[in-house]
Amino acid sequence: MCATNATRIYELSIGEMANISCDVNASPSNVTFNWKFMNTREEQRKSETHSNALYAMNAQQIKYSVSTATDYGTLFCEASNRVGKTPEMCAFRILPRKGHKLDTFLMFSDAFTV
């Protein structure tokens, strides 16, 4: 289960980066994390080698950098251990910093595991 029930919101300008941590309450605490990205423009798979939007990953924490308008959207994190998976994914909204206008439509992307 996510340590916080609310969706976390990050407002970023193009070129800015945020450290995003998927904090979960899990027992046993040996956890694997699966991240999904819902994009604002087109279906994309985000991975360390595919895009500079996610480029430094270590288990539960990623560094997310907005390079283009297609990097705005929602990140989802799912944790699992030998007992099972989190019942709901943790959500992190990546929005343009206030004052930036962005036309959006949403599509789900493939998942990747870290």
pLDDT at 91 over 90: yes
For the residues 107-111, what does the mean pLDDT come to?
A: 46
Distances in Å between the Cα of 99 and the Cα atoms of 22, 28, 40, 59, 83 are 28, 44, 17, 33, 45
Rounded CA separation 32/9 (Å): 23
pLDDT top residue among 56 and 33 = 33
Q: What is the model's pLDDT at position 10? A: 95
Smallest CA-to-CA distance from 21 within 38, 33, 29, 12 is with 33
pLDDT bin (cut points 50, 70, 90) of residue 57 is: low
Q: Which domains does the chain have, with CATH numbers?
A: 8-96 (2.60.40.10)
Q: Please compute the mean of the pLDDT values over residues 91-111 and round it to a whole number.
A: 66
Q: What is the pLDDT of residue 95?
A: 93
